[in-house]
Amino acid sequence: MTSPDQLWLGSWKLIEQRGFHEWLTHRGATPDDATTNIDALVNHTVLQIESDGASVTFVWSTKVRGKLRRTRTEVRYSLDGVTPTVVDGPSGPVSFTAHVDNDELVLIGGPIGSPSETHRRRVVDRRLVQIMSVEGAGDDAGSRCELMWQRS
């Protein structure tokens, strides 16, 4: 059961994005890789967000094209807002902390040695809105994007 302030829990499919291609290329993806990544997210991936109260877990399940199997990627974050989770990103290690701010799930961090990013997730009109922004970057290309998810 999802609590009223954690509506972002559950299973989600990406249905719309704004600025995500630029976000990915700004972080080192080639334009073709960014397009392929977005296609995989929109057409072949389900995101499951789970929480036990002390941590949150993201599980991305992606159908492998031409195969009868899926890849599964799981990342767990402590919800204390202090303990970092470090994982390998496309251009090196990334480190994020996570916390809940009212009805939003907030991750702060990013590629180690780069400006800090904030990733906010909240439910609006039964859709999960994910806004990612680079702190202090203003409206520079690739400094902000928005992803819209619907329950799957």
57-66 pLDDT, tens per residue? 999 999 977 7
Task: Tell me the CA distances in angstroms from 130 to 35, 36, 118, 122, one per residue in order.
Answer: 19, 20, 10, 7
The CA dihedral of 14, 88, 94, 45, to the nearest 10 degrees, is 0
Beta-carbon contacts of 30 under 8 Å, excluding residues fewer than 6 positions away, are none
Which sequence spans correspond to the domains of the chain? 10-151
9-30 pLDDT, tens per residue? 999 999 999 999 999 998 888 9
Kindly tell me the sign of the dihedral angle through the C-alpha atoms of 100, 104, 83, 77.
positive
pLDDT cut 90: percent of the chain above it: 75
Residue 17 has a pLDDT of 97
Cα–Cα–Cα angle for 104, 142, 124, nearest 5°? 25
Average pLDDT over residues 123-146: 88
Residue 32 has a pLDDT of 96
Q: May I ask the CATH architecture of the domain 10-151? A: Beta Barrel (2.40)
Q: Is the pLDDT of residue 51 over 70?
A: yes
Q: Please tell me whether residue 138 adopts helix, strand or coil conformation.
A: coil
pTM of the model: 0.90
